[in-house]
Amino acid sequence: MSVSQEYRLAKSLVWSDQEFSLADFVKRYELPQVVLVVDGYCGVNERTTFSSGLILTLHSLHTTSKIVCQVPHSNAVVVPTSCPLKAEVIPMDCRDTIVTAYQLSTTCQQIKYVRVMEAGSTCNNNSLETLKTNDILQIKKNDSKNSVIRCKNLTTAQDVSILIDSTAVFVPLLDSNTYNLAEIQNKFGLPAKVRFLDKKAEKKLRSVPGKRQPSTYLSDLGQMTAIEEIQESDVIVTTTCSDFEEK
């Protein structure tokens, strides 16, 4: 459309006397609709900035379910419920983000699954073995008589006995599996403590063209609490005319 055609189109339109916020407008009227911007809005970038006098075509309303996640000592992040990235689930009643073998044998006996964060010495079949970082363990028994914690290493399918005074450090888990946010919401409900770990998968997901990407990797944020699900709506808009001035 030429500039003169835009001008003639703009002059031919008749506007109502009523003014609405965008949220109220899309609730009241079925889209698509042609609208005039009365009060401009300065967004985070050019795509979300609209000056007064602009004539827009509102094409459709797109609603996305998202989960608000609170990061300790930081701002909340909003993640689409459909995000396929997997996260480990941490017991809500566990105050410690990491625990030692001694804690597992005393104050944290309710924890039944852990991930190895830092490996230490273990006793397995009377020989010294070394746990590997990120091994998932199921705690079977607190053997106080022999000062060991008897576990099943679910990563290697081996039985392992961890010395209570071991230098290993663990991350408490609710169970041995990882889940995406939709699965976490369905299985455990919200709120839920989670941690995204797979940065490689996150980088692969970010490589998909045409998708808006957050500035921070979820896997860099550590433990966070998925608080609630919200509905976030976007209106698909194109500019019909730039202004009313004839060129």
Domains of the chain with CATH codes: 3-63+233-241 (no CATH), 66-91+175-206+216-232 (no CATH), 99-173 (2.30.30.40)
Please tell me the predicted confidence (pLDDT) of residue 127: 32
Counting as low any pLDDT under 70, the low residues of the chain are 1-7, 9-10, 120-130, 207-215, 242-247
For tokens 């190895």, the residue is 116
Encode pLDDT of 74-92 as tens digits: 889 999 999 999 999 999 9
Please tell me the predicted confidence (pLDDT) of residue 247: 46
Q: Which two tokens stand for residue 99?
A: 């625990």
Strands (E), the chain: 33-36, 55-70, 76-80, 87-90, 99-100, 113-118, 121-124, 127-130, 136-143, 148-153, 158-163, 169-173, 178-179, 192-196, 224-241
Residues 6+ apart with CB under 8 A from 234: 61, 62, 63, 64
DSSP string, 110-135: T--EEEEEE--EEEETTEEEEPPTT-
CA 189/CA 179 separation, integer angstroms: 12
Please tell me the predicted confidence (pLDDT) of residue 7: 60
Identify which of 149, 165, 56 has the alpha carbon closest to the alpha carbon of residue 111.
Answer: 149
Q: What is the pTM of this model?
A: 0.77
10 Å Cβ neighbour count for 157? 7
Please tell me the predicted confidence (pLDDT) of residue 199: 85
Task: Tell how many helices (H) and how many strands (E) occur in the chain.
Answer: 5, 15
Please tell me the predicted confidence (pLDDT) of residue 192: 97
10 Å Cβ neighbour count for 162? 27
Please tell me the predicted confidence (pLDDT) of residue 87: 97
CA 78/CA 181 separation, integer angstroms: 11
Please tell me the predicted confidence (pLDDT) of residue 101: 93
Please tell me the predicted confidence (pLDDT) of residue 126: 40
